[in-house]
Amino acid sequence: MDFNYLTLIIFLPVAGAIVISLVPGLSSKLIRYIASLFTFIPLAISIFLFIAFDRSTSVAGTIQFEELSPWISAINANYHLGVDGLSLPLVLLTTLIGFLVVLISWKINTRVREYFAWLLLLETSILGVFCSLDLLLFFIFWEIEVIPMYFLISIWGAGRKEYSAIKYVVYTLFGSALMLAGILSLYFTTGSLSIIDMTHSGSAMVQSLMPAAPIFFMLLAGFAIKLPVFPLHTWLPDAHTDAPTAGSVVLAGTLIKMGGYGMIRVCVGIFPQVAQDYAQLLLALAVINIVYGAAVTLRQTDLKRLIAYSSISHMGFVLLGIFALGELSMVGAGLQMFSHGIVTGLLFAVTGLVMHNTGERNIGKLGGLAKQIPFIAVIFTIGGLASMGVPGTSGFIAEVTVFIGAFSSNIVDGVNVYTIISMLGILLAAAYILWLLRGVFFNHPLEKFNGTADADRLEKTYCAIFVAAILVIGMYPMILTDVIRTGITPIANLLGG
């Protein structure tokens, strides 16, 4: 296909942001419709590409829908886009979340023009990260997302929103500075910025000129902050808690997936030997993420903060799958990233409905809402069961794939021990989700919430889309795993896995 589909997917949202920002006299209603249009078209195109994607094993690792044009010839930088089985599902996830958060934001009435412009720019930046095959282009898109997320939290957030926004920026920029140093080190030692070229030969070129481990860890730092990995995780609960509902959905749904994607694409893909040398350290951190994150989640009394800490635990499964370094475990990590995006995106969306309709977010002050807002209660329960990993949901198949893949990996010594300990995360998840559901929906009804509005038609629509995605992947995971495997196989072959 010669048409530049990826350019269209990436830049349509920012084109919508420009229209919203610069065309005078737009009503709030028209702005919402424009935002819907400029996010729905990328979603439709990404679905088309997902259907057209060649899943055959003969093309495993081949970049599809590739676009390559000279950009900055003096430094050998190119405008290079393309997707494989690893990145295409994340592009689909980002466009899906991007469209749904516009619907979730339909009732925003404060500075509507600015709000939707920042939201659309944020989608473009995340899509650019998943499609870029040039490290400089990758880094530019990586940096752009800091700006809209800062404004979304600091203007439309709640609580200590300025503090949380600044904390997010400081952590991200610290990681980005180290990442840039790693990219420059790669460029100075290889003379290339092509991720694909370096995946094929870059690690050997780097190792011949300087130790590869320092570059690996400089790059890893930026990805570890974004995932986030303990002890670099403390920005996440604050950002989630104080962000507007749509900001939390984007943050959990797609933005933190940039960290996992970067680890597989850049760290493991370019430095397979270094990844193998330090895998046990990163597996230990994965176990801490999973168990510590889940244990701290049990102590939370704020709805949004509880789900935020659960994200730290669930992203630990991604880290476990990646650095078990087996083909199946990394396929599981890719599936977990997609599953977590839709499951936690749903939980934050429904939490937003509970908060806005009841005016309360403290779990101890809620109770019995299943009788007063039954639709929201059912949807929240489905999201909670998926987060627990109940069979039939995407959460179950993603976690099982990670565990089976990690336990059976023969790349890293002792990986089965880390895997067994990580299974504690499932028990703790069941504990905090069941406690949450009982405390909010299935306790004694409180009279003060009589007459509380249930979900309206639009809210039911976007909740139903989330639920459909969770159940389709849970029932038929091959729709994703067959694609993800084509992207993971060549990386696993570099490791002998």
Q: What is the pLDDT of residue 19?
A: 96
Q: Are 340 and 260 in contact (CB under 8 A)?
A: no
Three-state SS at 405: helix
Which residues are CB-contacts of 461 (< 8 A; sequence separation ≥ 6)? 103
Alpha carbon distance 450, 440 (integer Å): 14
Burial 96-125 (b: 16+ CB within 10 A, else e): bbbbbbbbbbbebeeebebbbbbbbbbbbb
Q: What is the pLDDT of residue 205?
A: 53
274-to-128, 216, 491 alpha-carbon distances in Å: 27, 7, 13
Q: Are 179 and 266 in contact (CB under 8 A)?
A: no
The DSSP annotation for 114-147 comes to HHHHHHHHHHHHHHHHHHB-BHHHHHHHHHHTHH
Q: At residue 210, does pLDDT exceed 80?
A: no
Percent of the chain with pLDDT over 70: 97
286-to-147, 291, 343 alpha-carbon distances in Å: 29, 9, 20
Q: At residue 497, does pLDDT exceed 60?
A: no
389-to-41, 121, 229, 261, 385 alpha-carbon distances in Å: 32, 33, 21, 22, 6
For the entire predicted model, the pTM comes to: 0.94
Helix axes 112-131, 146-156, angle to 10 degrees: 150
Q: Are 338 and 401 in contact (CB under 8 A)?
A: no
Q: What is the pLDDT of residue 207?
A: 52
Residue 425 pLDDT grade (very low, low, confident, very high; cuts 50, 70, 90):
very high
Q: Are 336 and 259 in contact (CB under 8 A)?
A: no
Q: Are 266 and 230 in contact (CB under 8 A)?
A: no
Domain ranges of the chain: 278-497
The 10s digit of each residue's pLDDT in 89-106 is 999 999 999 999 999 999
* Residue 422, token pair as written in the block: 């990580």
Which residues are CB-contacts of 82 (< 8 A; sequence separation ≥ 6)? 6, 63, 64, 65, 66, 67, 131, 133, 196
The 10s digit of each residue's pLDDT in 251-298 is 999 999 999 999 999 999 999 989 999 999 999 999 999 999 999 999
When pLDDT is averaged across residues 213-227 and rounded to a whole number, the result is 93
End-to-end CA distance of the chain: 32
When pLDDT is averaged across residues 435-457 and rounded to a whole number, the result is 88
Alpha carbon distance 419, 103 (integer Å): 39
Q: What is the pLDDT of residue 189?
A: 85
What amino acid is encoded at 214 in this protein?
P
Higher pLDDT, 414 or 121: 121
The 10s digit of each residue's pLDDT in 155-188 is 999 889 999 999 999 999 999 999 999 999 988 8
- Give the chain's mean pLDDT: 92
The 10s digit of each residue's pLDDT in 365-388 is 998 898 899 999 999 999 999 999
Q: At residue 59, does pLDDT exceed 80?
A: no
Q: What is the pLDDT of residue 209?
A: 56
Which residues are CB-contacts of 74 (< 8 A; sequence separation ≥ 6)? none
Q: Is 262 exposed, middle or buried (0-12, 13-18, 19+ CB in 10 A)?
A: buried
Q: What is the pLDDT of residue 254?
A: 92
Q: What is the pLDDT of residue 364?
A: 87
